[in-house]
C-alpha cells in the first residue's frame, strides 16, 4: 500500500463508496471530514490502518493542506443541498472547491477528481447550480488536468431522494411534488464511485463527464415507480412552481428568523429554481458509455433498499406469496 488518496467528504453518501473501492484497490485512504469521530465506520473498509478518518474543514487552508500533504490523488465529494450556518453555497462549492484544487497543485498531487452536478451553470438563477459551475472553473484554473464528474440524481441505499419520499408515505395519503414534469436520469451511487476510482487509477482522461443511468423519468414517474416498489397507493399532487416558491420563501424565513435553530430541510427557494430545469445528460457529452461502464438501472436496485417502507416491511413478499397460494387453491 504505497499509494495514498485523500477523499474530502469521504464518509458521505458517494464518498464512502469511493473509499471502499479505493481500499479494495490496495490504496491507503484518508477520509477528510469535519467530524472524524462520526466517520469511524470507514475503518472497516480495509485492513487495520488502511482507511483513516481525519479532520478537515474545506473552508480552512491549513486543515485542507494537512489532509492533502503526501497524497498521490485527491477526490472532492463535498457539496450541500441547502445553506446552514457558515456552510454557504459559495464558501463550500465555489471557494472550497477552488481551495482544494489550489492546494492539491501546490502539494504536487498527480490526480484531482471534482464531484460536481448536472445543471452546473454560472448564469443560473439557482445558487446551487451557479456555485457548482464557479467551483468547476476555480478547480480548472488551479488544476487544469482535473477530472470533473457531473452526476444526475444519485440513488442507492443511503440516498436522500427515494428514501425521503418513501418515508413521507408513512404519515400521509398525499405525496406532494414540485416540478412533476421535470426530467431526471438517476445514476447508481456505485457507478459514480467506479468512475471516480477509474479516474484516480489513471484510466480516465482529464475533462468533464456527465453521469446518468439508463432510464430518463419525470419526477412524477419516479414517484410512481417508488410507490410500486413499496406497495403503497398515494395521491401524487403536483405543486405549481409559484406556490412552491411561496412555500420555500416562508420556510427560508423561518430558518433566518430563528437564527438557524430551525433548519429548512423541506423545501428552499433555491431548490424550487433548480426543479424548473431537466436534470439529464447533454447530447454529445462524455459519460458512462465512453468510460466502458454499463449503467445500473433503478429496477435492479430499488427493491433491495426500499422494502422497509412497505406496509409489512420484510414480510411483504411472504404475505404476497401466501395470498397467491390461497388464490390458486380457490
Contacts of 47 (CB under 8 A, 6+ apart): none
Cell matching residue 144: 487544469
Cell numbers linked to 245: 416558491
Q: What is the pLDDT of residues 270-325, one digit of tens each?
A: 999 999 999 999 988 999 999 999 999 999 999 999 999 999 766 566 665 555 55
pTM for this one? Answer: 0.93
How far is Cα of residue 138 from the mean position of the Cα atoms in its chain? 21
Residue 178 clears pLDDT 60, i.e. is over it: yes
Res 237 pLDDT > 80: yes
Which pLDDT does position 312 carry in this prediction? 76
Q: How far apart are CA 137 and CA 144, in angstroms?
A: 9
Average pLDDT, the chain: 94
Q: Give the DSSP H or E segment for 307.
A: none
Question: What are the tens digits of pLDDT across the range 114-139?
Answer: 999 999 999 999 999 999 999 999 99
Helix (H, G, I), strand (E, B) or coil at 47: coil
What pLDDT score does 242 carry?
96
Name the burial class of residue 53, with classes exposed (0-12), middle (13-18) and buried (19+) by CB atoms within 10 angstroms of its CB: buried
Contacts of 291 (CB under 8 A, 6+ apart): 195, 198, 204, 209
Average pLDDT in the 209-230 region?
A: 97
Q: What is the 3-state secondary structure (H, E, C) of 263-293?
A: CCCCCCHHHHHHCCCCECCCCCCCCCCCCCC
Please give the pLDDT value at position 264: 92
**Alpha carbons 25 and 292: distance in angstroms, whole number:** 18
Q: Are 181 and 208 in contact (CB under 8 A)?
A: no
H or E element, residue 211:
strand 207-211
For the segment 85-99, the average pLDDT, to the nearest whole number, is 96
Beta strands 73-76 and 4-8: pairing type? parallel
Confidence at residue 13, expressed as pLDDT on a 0 to 100 scale: 97
DSSP state for residue 261 in the 8-state scheme: S
Spatial contact of 96 and 135, defined as CB atoms under 8 Å apart:
yes
Residue 184 confidence (pLDDT)? 98
152 pLDDT higher than 90:
yes
Q: Which residues pair with 208 in a beta bridge?
A: 148
Length of the chain: 330
Q: What is the pLDDT of residue 328?
A: 54
CA distance 17 to 194: 8
Written as one string, the DSSP assignment of 39-60 is GGGGGGGSSTTTEEEEE--TT-
**Helix (H, G, I), strand (E, B), or coil: what is residue 105?**
helix
Per-residue pLDDT for 207 more than 80? yes
- Residue 329: the pLDDT is 54
Identify the band that residue 2 occupies on the pLDDT scale cut at 50, 70 and 90: confident
Task: Work out the average pLDDT over 139-154.
Answer: 98
Q: What is the pLDDT averaged over residues 48-72?
A: 97
What per-residue confidence (pLDDT) applies to 317? 65
Amino acid at each position: 500500500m504505497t499509494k495514498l488518496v485523500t477523499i474530502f467528504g469521504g464518509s458521505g453518501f458517494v464518498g464512502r463508496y469511493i473509499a471502499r473501492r479505493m481500499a479494495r484497490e490496495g490504496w491507503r485512504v484518508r477520509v477528510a471530514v469535519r467530524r472524524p469521530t462520526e466517520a469511524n465506520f470507514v475503518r472497516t473498509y480495509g485492513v487495520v490502518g488502511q482507511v483513516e478518518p481525519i479532520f478537515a474543514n474545506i473552508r480552512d487552508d491549513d486543515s485542507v493542506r494537512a489532509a492533502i500533504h503526501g497524497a498521490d490523488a485527491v477526490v472532492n465529494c463535498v457539496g450541500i443541498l441547502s445553506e446552514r450556518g457558515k456552510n454557504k453555497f459559495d464558501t463550500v462549492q465555489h471557494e472550497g472547491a477552488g481551495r482544494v484544487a489550489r492546494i492539491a497543485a501546490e502539494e504536487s498531487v498527480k490526480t484531482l477528481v471534482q464531484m460536481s452536478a448536472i445543471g452546473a451553470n454560472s448564469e443560473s438563477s439557482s445558487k446551487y447550480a451557479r456555485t457548482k459551475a464557479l467551483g468547476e472553473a476555480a478547480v480548472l484554473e488551479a488544476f487544469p488536468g482535473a477530472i470533473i464528474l457531473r452526476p444526475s440524481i444519485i440513488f442507492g441505499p443511503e440516498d436522500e431522494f427515494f428514501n425521503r419520499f418513501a418515508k413521507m408515505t408513512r404519515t400521509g395519503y398525499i405525496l406532494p411534488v414540485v416540478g412533476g414534469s421535470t426530467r431526471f436520469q438517476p445514476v447508481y451511487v456505485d457507478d459514480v464511485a467506479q468512475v471516480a476510482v477509474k479516474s484516480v487509477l489513471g484510466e480516465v482522461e482529464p475533462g468533464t463527464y456527465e453521469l446518468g443511468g439508463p432510464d430518463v423519468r419525470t419526477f412524477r414517474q419516479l414517484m410512481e415507480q417508488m410507490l410500486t416498489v413499496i406497495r403503497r397507493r398515494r395521491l401524487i399532487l403536483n405543486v405549481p412552481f409559484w406556490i412552491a416558491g411561496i412555500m420555500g420563501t416562508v420556510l427560508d424565513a423561518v430558518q433566518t428568523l430563528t437564527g438557524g435553530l430551525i433548519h429548512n430541510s423541506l423545501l428552499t427557494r433555491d431548490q424550487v429554481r433548480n426543479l424548473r430545469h431537466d436534470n439529464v445528460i447533454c447530447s454529445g457529452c462524455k459519460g458512462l458509455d465512453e468510460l466502458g461502464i454499463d449503467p445500473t438501472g433503478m429496477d435492479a436496485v430499488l427493491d433491495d433498499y426500499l422494502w422497509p417502507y412497505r406496509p409489512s416491511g420484510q414480510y411483504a413478499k411472504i404475505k404476497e406469496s401466501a395470498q397467491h397460494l390461497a388464490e390458486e387453491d380457490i
